Structure 1
Amino acid sequence: MSERTNITVESLIPHSAVCVAEQSELICSHQPIVALAGDDVILPCYLDPPISASSETVEWTRPGLDPKYIHFHQDGQPVYHSQNPSYYLRTRLFEAELQNGNVSMKIFRVKISDAGKYFCFLESMLKEASIQLTVGKSDFLKMMNYTFLLTAKISNVTLY
């Protein structure tokens, strides 16, 4: 006589969730995000295909800072005691969008010193992505826009 094994749906669900999480990629913009000092800026980052990040620990960091945490989100809320003081009350996630895999971070009143590389890390999924933030004054941004337009206009021209 052969033995019979009972498999319940509940026993399969955790495994299914892990498989989906392993298939999702954490994606941040490959292009630098450009902001004007004093403005608010969003660092876009999301899971693709989208899966919920509501129960995830979401860490936004910058290398070279102590403490390194720009934003630390755990158990559905920000954790301020781990946050770098220069970002205190200047960052947030879009909590309603976490269920859609959106882990983008907004920085309020961006400063010149905020420029640099940022990392988003989803702890239990072991997913990490980076994004570059460039911050300038109005003259700097005018020059960046002019350079972009000039480059676009002469992109089909070979200079000797």
Structure 2
Amino acid sequence: MQLLHSNIKHVIALLPYYVLFVLITERFKVVGPAAPLVAVAGEDLILPCSLQPNISAEGMMVEWFRLHETDTLVHLYEDYKDRNGDQMESYRGRTALFKEELKKGNASLKLSALQPSDDGAYKCFIQDVDSYLDDVTLYVEVKGKIKSQYQFIITNDVLILKLIKTVSSFVSILGLHLHTQQLVYKYQISDLTMQTVLPAQGNYIGLYYSCICATSS
């Protein structure tokens, strides 16, 4: 009986240290969806990521990055500010955290104007001021979609086919005896404009021309 009391005393004596150990090792957990996030090119997508329990992430470092890429940074939040100096070029102007939601433990990322190249694995990495950290991996699948507005501009010497607000990749222009020149690409934040100028030599004006656009599906 005396031995039992002695063991109980040892357990009680060690209990505060055990509780402290649990608090240190399980400060928070970063969670996100296990299933792939499927979206259509050109649309916006929210990549869910949050802390459990829902403690504030305002004073923490939140880093989103791509897996299996040479340049990996998608978005970095640190010291209460976005710090995207080393952000991948293809993501510039297209990422945002919900700053008011950080205090609720919500570190989800909004990715605007999805591109086919956005397809792949992402990691949401969160670290607190005491260097405790955790992360979660999400998978994004970007589906192709043909969605274009186009117009023909015909003058005396050239015929211009211009694609406006397209989320498709430009494959070719088909027309009778037409020889296309190199395409000129102009990128905007949410729209992609592509244009090619075709010589209008001979009796080309008034003929029917078609444009083929395609994306990966």
Contact residue 118 and residue 130 of structure 1 kept, 8 A: yes
Determine which of 88, 94, 106 is the counterpart of 1:90. Answer: 94
Task: Tell me, yes or no, if structure 1 residue 52 matches structure 2 residue 56.
Answer: yes
- Deviation, 1:20, is 7.3
The alignment covers a number of residue pairs equal to 123
Determine which structure has the larger strand proportion and give its number: 2
Task: Tell me, yes or no, if structure 1 residue 125 matches structure 2 residue 132.
Answer: yes
Q: Show the counterpart of 1:99.
A: 103
Change (3 A) 1:114 1:133: same
SS in structure 1 at match of 2:31 = strand
Determine which structure has the larger helix proportion and give its number: 1
Q: Over aligned residues, Cα RMSD in angstroms?
A: 1.9
CA separation in 2, counterparts of 1:60 and 1:19?
26
CA separation in 1, counterparts of 2:40 and 2:100?
27
Runs of 5+ unmatched residues, structure 2: 1-19, 147-217
CA separation in 1, counterparts of 2:25 and 2:126?
11
Deviation string 1:45-73 (CA, Å, 9 cap, x unpaired) is 10111111000111101123232110011
Determine which of 19, 28, 44 is the counterpart of 2:32. Answer: 28
- Deviation, 1:19, is 2.9
Name the aligned partner's letter for residue 67 of structure 1: D
CA separation in 2, counterparts of 1:92 and 1:22?
28
| Higher CA-based Rg | 2
- Deviation, 1:23, is 3.6
Determine which of 40, 45, 61 is the counterpart of 1:41. Answer: 45
1:42-81 matches, within 5 Å, as 42-81=46-85
- Deviation, 1:77, is 1.6
Name the aligned partner's letter for residue 97 of structure 2: L
Name the aligned partner's letter for residue 94 of structure 1: F
Name the aligned partner's letter for residue 36 of structure 2: P
Change (3 A) 1:65 1:23: same
Of residues 58-67 and 42-51 in structure 1, the stretch that sits farther from structure 2 once superposed is 58-67
SS in structure 2 at match of 1:119 = strand
CA separation in 1, counterparts of 2:80 and 2:96?
12
Normalising by the residue count of structure 1, what TM-score does the alignment of the two structures yield?
0.71
SS in structure 2 at match of 1:113 = helix
Normalising by the residue count of structure 2, what TM-score does the alignment of the two structures yield?
0.53
SS in structure 2 at match of 1:19 = helix
CA separation in 1, counterparts of 2:132 and 2:106?
14
- Deviation, 1:24, is 2.1
CA separation in 1, counterparts of 2:116 and 2:88?
16
- Deviation, 1:80, is 1.8
SS in structure 1 at match of 2:26 = helix
Of residues 103-112 and 123-132 in structure 1, the stretch that sits farther from structure 2 once superposed is 123-132
Change (3 A) 1:120 1:106: same
